């Protein structure tokens, strides 16, 4: 890495020094570059500033004024209230912070402050600020009033580093820092024009010294592209290492097994399955390793696609393995694959943790000798003692249920097998490209014709007796059902129905005489497998559960699912739960019984709108897109990618969707021609990657 002036310690900038540098370091600001990228988290346009004289009781306002006096007022109850009187050209108003006497240390007479909050009447008109910003200190030479069009910036700050300090640091250093970042522009003018992006120096200038909101948006768009590009660059390095660093297997296709399977099918492949198979075959017959993700909705035919890919490996003289996260899911896959292979000469073996003694050793021997060409199993496939004759393809189902090391354990063999990861949790393509940029993506976005639809009903607590009567009618016909709850046990902090409590009540009252079982995430793995297997075999009428049943259980006889407190689940999670039914020859019924989210009233609430969207469509990709729009990308990155270096500060998956593809294409093209970014022409990109994203690069294993 070549150090630049922007990489020098922040201590040596004007206005910093050793002590202030310590405070900045605690906020993650170690270098001049870090300070330059410490951009405001919020802006207040002067056009939205209310003059004090117009701030009326009941309004929510933003005011700017000079502190005339201040003090802490004690009350009889012991509560201490900090108050400050601020003044602008139109008048005076009291700002009151009940229970926050510490604010006195942060505000001085003569300071100019910006406050936002409701105006109330208490011994006169006063504002109770939700937040405030010290724009300038009494000792600073600040203008008495702001010019028209001023935009006030609010930075991420700390008690030792209030707003006015950051404003002062940028006043002293910004011009010099912008001149230095100008030398690090890596996008040529033609590409910037094509993507509608400003220069990086102009973007950072407009973020720190904004002149209007349009320039702020343009600046954030440029930083969003940079963030997406360097994220894709790291993922492209991972992809290159996985697929091209060492030779892969160029499988030979003979069609001996593939044609036999195709001809034996009692149905025609969907257009989506045919398209995805062309993508997979192209990967597998090339000398580069396949590193592909296959995502598809419940019932879209992922297992059959995977089987075609596995048979291509076998035709080429190799073995193929499918790893599932649970024994019951592994058994389901083995059963389905066995049905498909009934008249096809290809030995299938299953390896799970429950296999012991002579049975386990014989299965392992068949795998090691190559007699077993297709192997389905759980984590047992990666246990010590399991050896393959020559493994050519690894398929990992429900890939998010495995850790990275577990997913890679089967792939780190010689020769290096191709990898196909499968997921039944649809996510929007834009999000998939961002989260999984190191993978090539195939999508089954079409369901086979003739699937019996699932009806979805929205209900309230008052409908519960009628819902249970319908459930009992289905049980009387020999069918089974799920009852799903958001919590395992009751809590004083949340008004939620709990699985344990409802299980005990149901089996003694509403469902007395029926066979019930309780399953949740705290049960040992073997106990969960035992209960799921008993339900699958028809020994249990009703499974009372938490979201542990979200994936991995296929019971065609289950035709009804009731989900309590659905407002506690994301839309995609609800869709996965709904996918547990509708797998047989009878239409399924999904009923969601909504409570009322705190603070919501009436029928036009956000929760009601969200659930209406869920009931309106059974398209998992449409639901995922709606889920992303409602929940925001933070939930997705937080839940799915914690610790994986993909959190985004500037890029918004919805707002900046048009930048994701170009960022990925540019990153992949660059890594294809210069994997180590060692060419002189790529020095700026390499330095920027090391300086800005070095910590993330380490998480991706990129050096």
**CA 621, CA 296: separation in Å to the nearest integer?**
9
Contact 345, 372 (CB under 8 A): no
Sequence-distant (≥ 6) Cβ neighbours of residue 182 within 8 angstroms: 199, 200, 201
Give one DSSP letter per residue of 228-269, joined into a string: HHHHHHHHHHHHHHHHTSS----PPP--HHHHHHHHH-SSPP
For 34-79, the DSSP string reads HHHT---SEEEEGGGPPPGGG--TT-EEEEEEEEEEEEEEE-TTS-
**φ, ψ dihedrals at 297, nearest 5°:** -70, 165
Number of helices (H) and strands (E), helices first, in the chain? 22, 21
Mean pLDDT of 197-209: 95
pLDDT (0 to 100) of residue 445: 87
Higher-confidence residue: 538 or 162? 538
CA distances in angstroms from 402 to 9, 441, 531, listed in the order given: 41, 19, 22
Q: Tell the burial category of 253 from Cβ atoms under 10 Å away from its Cβ (0-12, 13-18, 19+).
A: middle
Sequence-ordered list of residues with C-beta below 8 angstroms from that of 693, at least 6 positions apart, any chain: 230, 231, 234
Give the residue among 625, 607, 487, 556 at the shortest CA–CA distance from 298. 556
Q: Find, among 422, 411, 404, the residue nearest to 329 by Cα.
A: 422
> Does residue 251 carry a pLDDT above 90?
yes
Query: What span, in angstroms and rounded, lies between the C-alpha atoms of 205 and 243?
Result: 40
- In the prediction, which pLDDT does 426 show? 75
- Using CB atoms within 10 Å of the CB of residue 100, give its burial: 0 to 12 exposed, 13 to 18 middle, 19+ buried: middle
Q: pLDDT tens-digit profile of 570-595?
A: 888 898 899 889 887 788 999 999 87
Structure tokens belonging to residue 21? 């540098």
**Which is higher by pLDDT, 451 or 663?**
663
How many Cα atoms are found within 13 Å in the side-chain-facing hemisphere of 482? 35
Residue ranges per domain, the chain? Answer: 1-40+163-184, 42-154, 256-285+299-423, 454-617
Please indicate whether residue 299 or residue 9 has the higher confidence score (pLDDT): 9
pLDDT band at 703 (very low <50, low <70, confident <90, very high): low
pLDDT tens, residue by residue, 541-576: 999 998 888 665 788 899 999 999 998 888 888 988
- List all residues 6 or more positions away from 45 whose beta carbon is below 8 Å from its beta carbon: 151, 152, 213
Q: Is the pLDDT of residue 375 over 70?
A: yes
What is the CATH number that goes with domain 42-154? 2.40.50.140
Query: In this model, does residue 604 exceed pLDDT 50?
Result: no
Q: Which of 68-82, 317-331, 444-458, 490-504 has the lowest mean pLDDT?
A: 490-504
Residue 631, token pair as written in the block: 């929940």
pLDDT band at 332 (very low <50, low <70, confident <90, very high): confident
Nearest to 146 by CA among 75, 277, 51, 283: 51
b/e burial code for range 372-394 (CB count within 10 A of at least 16 → b): bbbbbbbbbbbeeebebeebbbb
Quick one: the chain helix, strand, coil %, rounded to 5?
45, 20, 35
- Mean pLDDT throughout 154-164? 83
* Distance from C-alpha of 500 to C-alpha of 520, rounded to nearest angstrom: 9
Mean pLDDT, the chain, whole residue set: 86
Q: What is the mean pLDDT of residues 361-366?
A: 92
454-617 CATH: 3.40.50.300
- Looking at residue 189, its pLDDT comes to 95
Q: Record the pTM.
A: 0.76
385: alpha, beta or left? (left if phi > 0; alpha if psi -120 to 50)? left
Q: Per mean pLDDT, which of 324-328, 396-400, 459-463 is the most reliable? A: 459-463
Answer for the pair 560, 588: CB distance below 8 angstroms, yes or no. Answer: yes
β-strand pairing of 42-45 with 454-459: unpaired
Rg of the Cα trace of the chain?
Answer: 31
Do the domains 256-285+299-423 and 454-617 sit in the same CATH topology, yes or no? yes
| Model pLDDT, residue 597 | 46
Q: What is the separation of C-alpha 306 from the centre of its chain, rounded to a whole number of angstroms?
A: 25
Q: What is the pLDDT of residues 394-445, one digit of tens each?
A: 999 876 555 555 556 666 667 789 999 998 877 777 777 777 788 899 999 8
Instruction: Specify whether the CB–CB gap between 474 and 601 falls below 8 A.
Output: no
User: Length of the chain, please?
Assistant: 703
According to the model, what pLDDT value does residue 698 have? 61
Tell me the CA distances in angstroms from 123 to 74, 76, 86, one per residue in order: 15, 16, 16
CATH class of the domain at 256-285+299-423: alpha beta
């Amino acid at each position: 890495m070549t150090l630049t002036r922007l990489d020098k310690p922040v201590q040596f900038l004007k206005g910093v020094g050793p002590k202030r540098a310590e405070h900045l370091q605690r906020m993650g600001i170690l270098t001049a570059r870090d300070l330059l990228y410490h951009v405001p988290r919020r802006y207040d346009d002067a056009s939205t500033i209310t003059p004090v004289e117009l701030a009326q009781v009941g309004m929510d306002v933003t005011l700017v004024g000079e502190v005339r006096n201040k003090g802490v007022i004690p009350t009889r109850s012991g509560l201490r209230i900090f108050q400050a009187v601020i003044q602008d050209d139109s008048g005076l108003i009291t700002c009151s912070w009940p229970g926050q006497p510490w604010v006195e240390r942060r505000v001085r007479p003569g300071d100019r402050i910006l406050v936002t909050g409701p105006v109330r009447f208490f011994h006169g008109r006063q504002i109770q600020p939700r937040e405030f910003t010290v724009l300038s200190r009494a000792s600073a030479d600040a203008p008495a009033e702001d010019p028209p069009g001023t935009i006030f910036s609010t930075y991420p700050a700390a008690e030792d580093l209030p707003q006015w300090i950051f404003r002062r640091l940028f006043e002293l250093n910004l011009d010099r820092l912008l001149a230095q970042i100008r030398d690090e522009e890596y996008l040529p003018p033609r590409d910037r024009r094509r993507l509608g992006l400003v220069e990086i120096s102009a973007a950072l200038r407009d973020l720190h010294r904004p002149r209007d909101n349009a320039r702020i948006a343009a600046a954030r768009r440029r930083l969003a592209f940079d963030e997406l590009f360097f994220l894709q660059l790291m993922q492209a390095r991972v992809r290159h290492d996985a697929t091209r660093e060492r030779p892969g297997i160029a499988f030979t296709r003979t069609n001996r097994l593939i044609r036999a399977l195709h001809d034996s099918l009692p149905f025609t492949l969907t257009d989506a399955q045919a398209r995805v198979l062309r993508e997979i075959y192209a990967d597998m017959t090339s000398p580069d390793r396949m590193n592909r993700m296959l995502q598809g909705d419940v019932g879209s035919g992922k297992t059959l696609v995977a089987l075609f890919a596995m048979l291509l490996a076998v035709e080429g003289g190799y073995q193929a393995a499918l790893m599932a996260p649970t024994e019951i899911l592994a058994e389901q896959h083995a059963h389905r694959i066995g049905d498909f292979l009934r008249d096809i000469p290809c030995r299938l073996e299953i390896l799970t943790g429950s296999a012991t003694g002579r049975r386990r050793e014989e299965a392992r021997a068949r795998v090691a000798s190559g007699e077993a060409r297709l192997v389905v199993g759980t984590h047992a496939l990666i246990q010590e003692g399991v050896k393959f004759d020559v493994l050519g393809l690894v398929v990992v189902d429900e890939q998010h249920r495995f850790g990275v090391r577990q997913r890679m354990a089967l792939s780190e063999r010689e020769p290096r097998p191709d990898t196909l990861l499968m997921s039944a949790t649809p996510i929007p393509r834009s999000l998939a490209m961002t989260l999984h940029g190191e993978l090539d993506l195939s999508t089954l976005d079409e369901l086979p014709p003739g699937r019996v639809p699932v009806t979805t009903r929205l209900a309230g607590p008052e409908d519960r007796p009628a819902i249970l009567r319908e459930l009992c009618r289905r049980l009387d016909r020999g069918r089974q059902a799920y009852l799903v709850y958001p919590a395992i046990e009751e809590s004083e902090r949340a008004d939620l129905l709990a699985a344990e409590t409802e299980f005990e009540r149901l089996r003694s009252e509403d469902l007395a005489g029926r066979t019930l079982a309780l399953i949740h995430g705290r049960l040992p793995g073997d106990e969960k497998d035992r209960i799921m297997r008993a339900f699958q075999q028809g020994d249990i009428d009703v499974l009372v559960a938490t979201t542990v049943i979200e994936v991995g259980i296929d019971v065609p006889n289950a035709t009804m699912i009731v989900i309590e407190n659905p407002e506690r689940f994301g839309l995609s999670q609800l869709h996965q739960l709904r996918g547990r039914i509708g797998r047989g020859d009878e239409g399924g019924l999904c009923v969601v019984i909504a409570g009322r989210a705190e603070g919501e009233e009436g029928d036009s609430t956000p929760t009601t709108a969200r659930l209406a969207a869920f009931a309106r469509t059974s398209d998992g990709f449409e639901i995922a897109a709606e889920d992303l729009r409602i929940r925001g990308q933070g939930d997705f990155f937080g839940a799915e990618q914690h610790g994986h270096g993909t959190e985004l500060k500037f890029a918004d998956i919805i707002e900046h969707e048009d930048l994701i593809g170009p960022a990925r294409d540019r990153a992949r093209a660059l890594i294809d021609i210069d994997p180590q970014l060692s060419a002189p022409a790529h020095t700026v990109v390499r330095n920027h990657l090391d300086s800005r994203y070095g910590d993330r690069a380490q998480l991706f294993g990129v050096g």
